[in-house]
Structure 1
Amino acid sequence: MAFERRTKRLWLVLAFCAALVLSAFPVPAFAQLFGGPQDETSENGAAGGFFGPIINLFSPKPLTSGPPAPDATPYAVSLTVNGGDSALRDRIEAASALERLRERAPSGAAGLVRRALADRRDINAALYAAGYYGGIIRIRLAGIAPDAPDIFQRVEAARARGPVPVEIDVQAGPLFQFGRVELLDAANRRPLAEAPSLTRLRLEPGEPALATSIVRAEGAIVDHWRRMAHPFARLADKEVVADHKTNKVDVTFLIAPGPVATFGHFTVVGADFLTPGFIEERIEITPGTPYSPEVLDRLRRRLLEYEAIASVRINEADRLAPDGSLPITIEVSARLPRYVGFSATYSSTDGSAINAYWGHRNLFGGGETLRLDAQISWFGEKSEAVPNADPFGYKLAATFVKPGIYTAQDDLVANAAVLREVTNAYVREAVTLLAGIRHRYSDDLTLQVSLDLEQSQVEDSTGTNDYGIVGVPIELTYDSTDSKLDPSRGWRATATVEPFAYLGEAGAGPTLFRGAVSTYHAFDENKRFILAGRMAAGSIVGAGLYDVPPQRRFYVGGGGSLRGYDYQSASPRNEDGIIIGGRSFFEASVEARLRVTDTIGIVPFFDMGSAFASEWPDFDSIKYSAGIGLRYYTAIGPLRIDLAFPLNPGPEDGDFGVYVSLGQAF
């Protein structure tokens, strides 16, 4: 059994590494190697052969652009770039259709000429985008310019002898810098008060005069005045002058800010699937409040959190009301009320699970949600504490949310479950109920006060015991991230305090403290490099270790905490080496999320953590691990595959761990 389990894990690792290789190397090469002949592609450019589906999954773009053109005119291109750096050459190569599509011959001589004429425009745009305004572009087809009178005859004659020779010669010229940059009122050409700084606009004098910076600044300027309560702000005109004597670019923006406005009357359209006034109660914008697009965006995102609502469109009126306010129309649409689905998770250390669910997004018409889950799990290995236990578990759960139980900011949240749980430390059969009120203080901050009830029978290394638990968890949550499944900026933090009226053998008095914080930072606008970090800790005070029921102790190890180590394995053990859990824990992780293509990402990571028998973490037995992950980005979130290795394993620890799930690790 041990050999078979190791073999299965080895095949998973090999498959994981193959996926990494396929995503990192040029796809055409693998198409030749694994997909049969190089021309074995479908009409849409998909790779053929036995490995074609795998190659297509990890390919950022089709291998070809389609079937050959009629009357194809093959050509051989020579591209020369003088001046600039390698990044400029990459820009020019990407802009040039002649270079980019050279494997795809155009139709006839006219097609080649059209491609060459378009290259003049596109290469020039690439030079401007990089700050080169004095470039010279020479394109020759069969030795002459593409707009020469006899160009078609020369191309046809050259084609008869073989591929048409194409020469592209780009003289980049000097790099221009920003000179004078002004933001003026379009009405009188005078400087505007409270204008954004040139540093913020990335238009500082002396910096490279990238055309992309000018274009980006146009939107930033309009957004600035809209945030200053000018809803009709617009860029009336701009003047860009390149001085070839000084290699400077002067830019003048002529701005029409428009009038200052306040929020006026809100009209709701399309909300007949909800109880009357549902949307109006949640607008929370008092008429007369200064206009702000950010306030409207927060409102839109807040309304979209209700599962019954499919879309929210906020339409601003095209003119102000007589009192200077701006009327707003909110248009909402409904999602399908019922849904079904299933999910699956796999881990070589945590076990596997399959879950089927049914849900209703608008149960009684007031945005109430009900979800029923049926899960079957398999631990995969023998439980250390209960070696003869059946490895299969189950969970039947119901989750209900009632928005606006008291006010629009108060929601009723309830979850009930009947379950059987198998772990290395214990086997539990239980009935649980967690019900409480969640109050929203702001879009980022919520507080939930609940009642925690559990009646369970737990078997561990000490025997079988019945436990009754009554607690009052108080949880404060802060979340300023931009995405639930794949955040690129912001913070998440939770803090929980749960005093127990009854906690198994401990009775009344014990209190649980637990907190976690994570942060995310994208280093570029396209979010291709994100650094993410997480830290969590907890403690149970007022009770001895064996007075705390095993299922309420702290455990570390596995995909949700310390990757690379077996589930719960970085936790205290008894004198027989069996996991018993602890009264405190500490965890920390850091990840570098690197996008290789639009759909493929590589994530090196480092984890550390351990649980402790003492009331507070003592850090004497911290475990460490490192690894690399593959992310396949989908519309609903990234598919995660992580391969982790323990750095300071004990004799009871494995060699590695493999984890597959949807969403980032944290």
Structure 2
Amino acid sequence: MRILFVSLLVVLLALPMQLAAAIPFFDRLPGFTLLVQGDPQLQEKLTSELNELRKNSSALENYEDPADIAHYERGNLEKLLRAQGYYDATVYESVAGNQIFYSVTPGPQYHIKSLDIDMPAGLRAGFSGLPIHVGDPLIASKVLEGVEKITKYLNENACLLNVDVSYQATVIHQEASARLEYRVAPSPEVHVGQVRIEGVSSIEEDYLLDKVKIKSGDCFSRSKLDAAQLRLLRTNLIANVNTEVSEPYDGLVDVTFVIQERNHRTITLGVGYTSDEGTGISAAWEHRNVFHRGEKIEVESKLNEVKQTLEGKLTIPRFFHDKQRLTASIALEGEDVDSYRSESLTFSALVSRKISKHRTLSGGAELKFSEVDEKVEGAVEEEDPDENYTLLAFPLGFKLNTTDKPLDAHRGATSALEVKPYIDLRNTNTTFIKNTLQLTAYKTANDWRYKPTLALRLKAGAITGEPNLELPADERFYAGGGGSVRGYGYQELGPRLVEINDEGEETLSDAIGGRGLSEISFEGRFRFTDTWGGVIFLDGGNAYEDAAPKFSDLFWGTGFGVRYITSFAPIRMDIAFPLDRREGIDDRYQVYVSLGQAF
């Protein structure tokens, strides 16, 4: 059965969209056949582009008669041909039943006969050249690439008050050629005079000026202004920002950023449900500008039948360095699962630093006071079921993140490594190191129907330094649950002890946790509309008494879900089934309702 589910997942993710288009349910538009005389490559390109236009055209919704659709799409084909340099092409359409036939005679492809750039000589000297040359086909996308390259060059190497690049293509039908000329509109070169911020009320002006990174005397650049606006918006303190540039004077212009501050306080409430943890509620409050320089305080509480947390967190950006931040927190947590009950109070401080656009290093200290009551007979000595710990840890981390969205990634990957050495201050002989590594990857086929995303998650953990039962129960690894292996109960996977029941029979205890952890998840995500989507998934995982993680003896679960897509994050509802169900331990299915993707 497990092989059947894996095969189904692979087939659904790899199903070509041409096959889906052949199924009437997937497409109400009439099918079409396109034939380009003498050019199969152009035929393939036009077919692909016409299919793309069909997916994104709202105008086609107004047509029902296939003849009207054919007439409309003939105009689209003529535009596509001109964009590829075919100015003498002819397109004929015919309709037979619910099928449209297009016949294209492309004619000659026009090439560039001459190419000129009207640019001041002083600026032209350093220009490296265009992506299009004399003799090349007159392809619209290549011509526009030339506009973009000239514009980028001028923004980075000139101080023009206005950068305005245009082009003119003069078609010569008798020669099947064209003269192409790029023109740079005249504009004075200026430098920056005064830089001002207007509209601030609670944010310190010098903090925002430092974010702008434009100073008096700098070479004026519109692209630098755009980048400055983006940096201001990314502070999460600004709702809107506009730029005003004064008239030139003595070769200078003054720049004023007119901003509108956001409301810096937010209250959020949430609710979720999982069949293994029950109904959960959450409430949070945050202030994003406590000390007027972007410092943030967050207070959050989460409650369900298994776990209760209350956490306060202070984040200070630019902590002794522009790319460094300090996060200090205090957390009170209670947890009551089948194998243990714990209460803890944790103080932590973590400094993180971006070493590149996608890479972050972190390090800090954590002090955790905890009381753990192990419920499993034999997990601790009978005369000492309650264990108190004062754990001092020094977490070190590295994170790589190239994803496009944190809560609903469509592309990119992440890798997160944490090494966390512990020492128990109550018993200094107890020392151990907890290591975790998690990898995720996302790939979306935007050209396919429903834009399917293949998501992959891989997690491994190892604890070294102490035997399994000498570790605090709430620090061991467990598998199972909505964020782990769906289909199994929360923390239901992992090592178990043999117990003797009242009848003298051997039974297995509840999961006691382990020193090793292995998890792997595959998920196929589909977007049916702008607001609705669906997923199919396969999860595997287990925890082990030995420290070395291994991807064998895994428990597998599979299922499907629905996504309601909001501007912030998708709301998910999943139903999962255990493929390795254990009689008397695992339920037949599990249900999960929460905010955000599973990973």
Structure 1 counterpart of 2:295: 368
Alignment of 1:201-280 (within 5 A): 213=141, 217=145, 220-221=148-149, 224-225=152-153, 229=157, 234-239=164-169, 241=171, 252=180, 254=182, 256=184, 267-280=196-209
Answering whether residue 540 of structure 2 is matched by residue 540 of structure 1, we say no
Structure 2 counterpart of 1:421: 335
Per the normalisation by structure 1, the TM-score is 0.66
Structure 2 counterpart of 1:128: 79
Answering whether residue 280 of structure 2 is matched by residue 353 of structure 1, we say yes
Q: Is the 8 A contact 1:309 1:334 kept in 2?
A: yes
Structure 1 counterpart of 2:560: 628
Q: Is the 8 A contact 1:600 1:631 kept in 2?
A: yes
Which has the larger strand fraction?
A: 2
1:125-151, Cα deviation, whole Å (9 max, x unpaired): 354236686345799xxxxxxxxxxxx
* Separation of aligned partners in 1, 2:411 and 2:483: 21
Structure 2 counterpart of 1:50: none
Structure 2 counterpart of 1:611: 543
Give the one of 261, 281, 291 matched to 2:210.
281
Structure 1 counterpart of 2:408: 486
Answering whether residue 355 of structure 2 is matched by residue 437 of structure 1, we say no
Residue 184 of structure 2 aligns with an amino acid whose one-letter code is A
- 1:334 and 1:99, CA in 2 relative to 1: closer, same or farther beyond 3 A? closer
- 1:499 and 1:423, CA in 2 relative to 1: closer, same or farther beyond 3 A? same
* Separation of aligned partners in 2, 1:441 and 1:264: 33
* Separation of aligned partners in 1, 2:131 and 2:441: 28
| Structure 1 residue 235 displacement after superposition | 3.8
- 1:136 and 1:560, CA in 2 relative to 1: closer, same or farther beyond 3 A? same
1:55-75, Cα deviation, whole Å (9 max, x unpaired): xxxxxxxxxxxxxxxxxxxxx
Give the one of 451, 457, 479 matched to 1:528.
451
Q: Is the 8 A contact 2:497 2:509 kept in 1?
A: yes
Q: Is the 8 A contact 2:70 2:93 kept in 1?
A: no
1:301-343, Cα deviation, whole Å (9 max, x unpaired): 55444343334556788989949xx976544432112222201
* Separation of aligned partners in 2, 1:532 and 1:655: 25
1:232-268, Cα deviation, whole Å (9 max, x unpaired): 554422427597998xx86946253989999987543
Give the one of 571, 589, 596 matched to 1:656.
589
Alignment of 1:30-429 (within 5 A): 83=35, 100-102=61-63, 123-129=74-80, 134-135=89-90, 172-175=103-106, 180=111, 184-187=116-119, 194-195=128-129, 197=131, 213=141, 217=145, 220-221=148-149, 224-225=152-153, 229=157, 234-239=164-169, 241=171, 252=180, 254=182, 256=184, 267-283=196-212, 303-313=232-242, 322=251, 329-379=256-306, 393-429=307-343
* Separation of aligned partners in 2, 1:496 and 1:559: 22
1:567-592, Cα deviation, whole Å (9 max, x unpaired): 22232222233111111212233333
* Separation of aligned partners in 2, 1:628 and 1:320: 65
| Structure 1 residue 410 displacement after superposition | 3.6
| Structure 1 residue 549 displacement after superposition | 0.7
| Structure 1 residue 119 displacement after superposition | 9.8
Give the one of 361, 365, 375 matched to 1:451.
365
Answering whether residue 398 of structure 2 is matched by residue 476 of structure 1, we say yes
Q: In terms of mean alpha carbon deviation, does 605-614 or 526-535 score higher?
A: 526-535
Q: In terms of mean alpha carbon deviation, does 656-665 or 129-138 score higher?
A: 129-138
| Unpaired segments ≥5 residues, structure 1 | 1-24, 31-76, 105-115, 140-166, 380-392
* Separation of aligned partners in 1, 2:270 and 2:464: 37
| Structure 1 residue 547 displacement after superposition | 1.6
Structure 2 counterpart of 1:558: 481
Secondary structure in structure 2 of the residue aligned to 1:577: strand
Structure 2 counterpart of 1:65: none
Structure 2 counterpart of 1:383: none
| Structure 1 residue 94 displacement after superposition | 7.9
Aligned length: 536
Residue 594 of structure 1 aligns with an amino acid whose one-letter code is F
Per the normalisation by structure 2, the TM-score is 0.72
Residue 475 of structure 1 aligns with an amino acid whose one-letter code is G
* Separation of aligned partners in 1, 2:125 and 2:201: 49
Residue 409 of structure 2 aligns with an amino acid whose one-letter code is P
Q: Is the 8 A contact 1:497 1:513 kept in 2?
A: yes
Residue 661 of structure 1 aligns with an amino acid whose one-letter code is S
* Separation of aligned partners in 2, 1:603 and 1:508: 44
| Structure 1 residue 352 displacement after superposition | 3.1
| Structure 1 residue 422 displacement after superposition | 2.5
* Separation of aligned partners in 1, 2:447 and 2:255: 31
| Structure 1 residue 543 displacement after superposition | 1.4
Q: Is the 8 A contact 1:599 1:632 kept in 2?
A: yes
| Unpaired segments ≥5 residues, structure 2 | 1-19, 37-42, 380-384, 499-507
1:264-296, Cα deviation, whole Å (9 max, x unpaired): 875434344212411233445788989998877
- 1:177 and 1:615, CA in 2 relative to 1: closer, same or farther beyond 3 A? farther
Secondary structure in structure 1 of the residue aligned to 2:304: strand
- 1:89 and 1:270, CA in 2 relative to 1: closer, same or farther beyond 3 A? closer
* Separation of aligned partners in 2, 1:534 and 1:512: 20
* Separation of aligned partners in 2, 1:480 and 1:327: 37
Q: In terms of mean alpha carbon deviation, does 85-94 or 649-658 score higher?
A: 85-94
Q: Is the 8 A contact 1:306 1:367 kept in 2?
A: yes
Residue 531 of structure 1 aligns with an amino acid whose one-letter code is L
Give the one of 569, 589, 597 matched to 2:521.
589
* Separation of aligned partners in 1, 2:178 and 2:536: 44
Residue 588 of structure 1 aligns with an amino acid whose one-letter code is I
| Structure 1 residue 545 displacement after superposition | 1.0
1:368-408, Cα deviation, whole Å (9 max, x unpaired): 222222332124xxxxxxxxxxxxx4322212223344344
Give RMSD over aligned pairs: 4.9
Q: Is the 8 A contact 2:402 2:414 kept in 1?
A: yes
- 1:545 and 1:229, CA in 2 relative to 1: closer, same or farther beyond 3 A? farther
